[in-house]
Structure 1
């Protein structure tokens, strides 16, 4: 990538040097792409370089081995949402997860489309229930894209595709209600909306977050990436308080 011009979603920004910043952007066709923004810590750039914002990005690098210089122009701002606790927590977590989990320069158009849709839902929905199911589905898709997908099509024990109610933490496969008898405490609840589509109530949504969170923590957010789980914990706690 000597030169790349694209729209992109800002996922993470960290200070670099006295005035600059390194931003990691999710692009539609080139995956997660980092770049150095000269003056990225300036007053003018701070509201642009916010997670969740959509920008027109220009990456320029001398060689593929060098960090690209990056210039950005704001295309769509979600800055007002950062002043609202629940939307801000959802944006922080979904973008931090994306930046921490995805390998760089690996095309993932389905994830770009899904993250864009999730952020649109956070922006448009009048309450968290309008986007919480989309968040669970985004986490599930990310697991699948990274090779840690859950098999929710049939029961791991019987092969039956009906009455699926749990997921085995060992096999990451669904278990139906009959096969789960006596083992319920060892299994993770499977919310119906992940099998049947549609939405769910708050108990089911929190079950969904518990399910995806278990596999994210076990398989993806390990080593140095584990620090981003704090953003997820803040989000889940805020959701629990909101529906209590």
Structure 2
């Protein structure tokens, strides 16, 4: 049993003398763990967020397996070392992948979305909004996508402003206004890529995605949303970037 693919490093831990167990998220094979020999030499490669060219091998498919080759393609983690907020965003995104996706199941669109997010992180003003889109993409990949295409009440596709916390469907401003205290705000940039970001839009997007991640993904497993996500929101808030 073996495969070769490009992959995003999710993390690594020590495993016996001179070895590491690395976890990666590959485009065509999903989330995999495997042993890395000569682990100390590989530690700089195995920083979360780096893109590697990985070959995974095992005698039987259910075994842990090992990586050979494991070669660095893009050192994204190194490029973010001087940006603690971006590192917090990277840590949160990687933790969500590790926590929410089942092992050994491919999610090519989610892989592509994570690559887009990581590559955007040097651009301080745009990546928090992209991060929020990534979380909605994660929900969709897990089978819990929101319907933000049209109003659930009127069928209209313009002026969408709310999301029902019960159904995950959108509503126009006028249709939802009488029930605003019961609804989640839908920031315009989540339905219109050309929309200008207004103050509070990113915070509303985090609240929207977090609500459904918590109830549809993590509550089902008896878990809380990852602490890394809370710390990210806290850092963005202190920096005035929500």
TM-score by length of 1: 0.90
CA contact 2:214–2:225 (8 Å) conserved in 1: no
Cα drift, residue 103 of structure 1? 1.5
Seen in structure 2, the aligned counterparts of structure 1 residues 66 and 77 have a Cα distance that, compared at 3 Å, is same
Question: Is 1:96 paired with 2:95?
Answer: yes
* 1:211-226 paired onto structure 2 within 5 Å: 211-222=208-219, 226=223
1:204-240 C-alpha deviation (Å, 9 max, x unpaired): 1111111111111111234768466210111111111
Secondary structure of 2:10's counterpart equals strand
1:98-121 C-alpha deviation (Å, 9 max, x unpaired): 121112222211111111111000
Question: Equivalent residue for 1:169?
Answer: 165
Question: Is 1:69 paired with 2:66?
Answer: yes
Question: Equivalent residue for 2:4?
Answer: 5
Question: Equivalent residue for 1:25?
Answer: 24
Secondary structure of 1:180's counterpart equals helix
Seen in structure 2, the aligned counterparts of structure 1 residues 228 and 35 have a Cα distance that, compared at 3 Å, is farther
Secondary structure of 2:28's counterpart equals coil
Secondary structure of 2:191's counterpart equals helix
Cα distance in 2 for partners of 1:211, 1:54 equals 29
Q: Select 1:54's aligned residue among 46, 51, 54.
A: 51
CA contact 1:221–1:229 (8 Å) conserved in 2: no
Unpaired stretches in structure 2, ≥5 consecutive residues? none
Secondary structure of 1:48's counterpart equals coil
1:8-60 C-alpha deviation (Å, 9 max, x unpaired): 110232333454332221112112222122343x2x32221111001121211
Cα distance in 1 for partners of 2:21, 2:187 equals 39
Q: Select 2:138's aligned residue among 118, 135, 142.
A: 142
More displaced 10-residue stretch of structure 1: 101-110 or 168-177: 101-110
Secondary structure of 2:3's counterpart equals strand
Cα drift, residue 159 of structure 1? 2.5
TM-score by length of 2: 0.90
Secondary structure of 1:120's counterpart equals helix
Seen in structure 2, the aligned counterparts of structure 1 residues 225 and 130 have a Cα distance that, compared at 3 Å, is farther
Unpaired stretches in structure 1, ≥5 consecutive residues? none
Cα RMSD over matched residues? Answer: 1.9
Question: Is 1:236 paired with 2:233?
Answer: yes
More displaced 10-residue stretch of structure 1: 171-180 or 78-87: 78-87
Secondary structure of 1:8's counterpart equals strand
